[in-house]
Copies of this chain bind each other. A is one copy, B any other.
Amino acid sequence: MLGDRVDVSFDARRAARADKSGHAAAGLPIAVVHAESVEDVQATLRVATATRTPVVTRGAGTGLAGAANAGDGEIALSLRGMDRVLEVRPDDLLAVVEPGILNAVLNERLAEHGLWWAPDPASRAISTVGGNIATGAGGLLCAKYGAVRDAVLALDVVLADGRLLRVGHRTVKGVTGLDLTSLLIGSEGTLGVIVGATLKLRRIIPGETCTIAATFTGVRDAAAAAAAVTATGAQPAIMELLDAASLAAIHAHLGLDAPPPGTAQVTVQTDGATAADDAAVIARVLTGSGGRVAITRDPTEGERLLAVRRAFHGAMERLGTTLIEDVSVPRSALPAMFDEISRIEREYGLVIPTVAHAGDGNLHPNFVFEAEPDSAGVVEVPPRVWEAADALFRAALALGGTLTGEHGVGTLKSRWLADELGDDQWEIQRRITGVFDPDGILNPGKVFLR
Which residues of A are interface residues toward B (Cβ below 8 A)? 89-94, 114, 135-136, 138, 142-143, 146-147, 149-150, 159, 163, 165-167, 169-180, 182-183, 185-187, 191, 203, 227, 230-231, 233, 273-274, 277, 328-332, 357, 360-362, 400-409, 413, 417, 420-422, 424-426, 428-429, 431-433, 435-436, 447-448
- Say which residue of B147, B174, B178 sits within 8 Å of A187 (CB atoms): B178
Roughly how many angstroms separate A230 CA and B171 CA in the complex, as a whole number?
13
Q: What is the CB-to-nearest-CB distance from A143 to chain B, in angstroms, rounded to a whole number?
A: 6
Do A183 and B174 have beta carbons less than 8 Å apart?
Answer: no
Roughly how many angstroms separate A142 CA and B175 CA in the complex, as a whole number?
14
CB neighbours of A92 from chain B (8 A)? 330-332
CB neighbours of A330 from chain B (8 A)? 89, 92, 94, 170-171
Do B171 and A136 have beta carbons less than 8 Å apart?
Answer: no
Do A231 and B91 have beta carbons less than 8 Å apart?
Answer: yes
Q: Knowing A182-B149, A428-B435 touch, does A407 contact B175 (C-beta < 8 A)?
A: yes
Do A175 and B435 have beta carbons less than 8 Å apart?
Answer: no
Do A150 and B147 have beta carbons less than 8 Å apart?
Answer: no
Roughly how many angstroms separate A230 CA and B92 CA in the complex, as a whole number?
8
Do B402 and A328 have beta carbons less than 8 Å apart?
Answer: no
CB neighbours of A405 from chain B (8 A)? 171, 173-175
Q: Give me 20 A-to-B residue pairs in the complex whose CB atoms sit less than 8 angstroms apart, sorted by A's number.
A: A89-B330, A89-B332, A92-B331, A138-B175, A142-B172, A149-B182, A169-B328, A171-B329, A171-B400, A171-B405, A172-B328, A173-B360, A173-B362, A175-B408, A177-B420, A177-B448, A178-B429, A179-B185, A179-B186, A182-B182
Do A401 and B171 have beta carbons less than 8 Å apart?
Answer: yes
Do A179 and B175 have beta carbons less than 8 Å apart?
Answer: no
Q: Knowing A178-B429, A230-B91 touch, does A173 contact B424 (C-beta < 8 A)?
A: no
Do B435 and A432 have beta carbons less than 8 Å apart?
Answer: yes
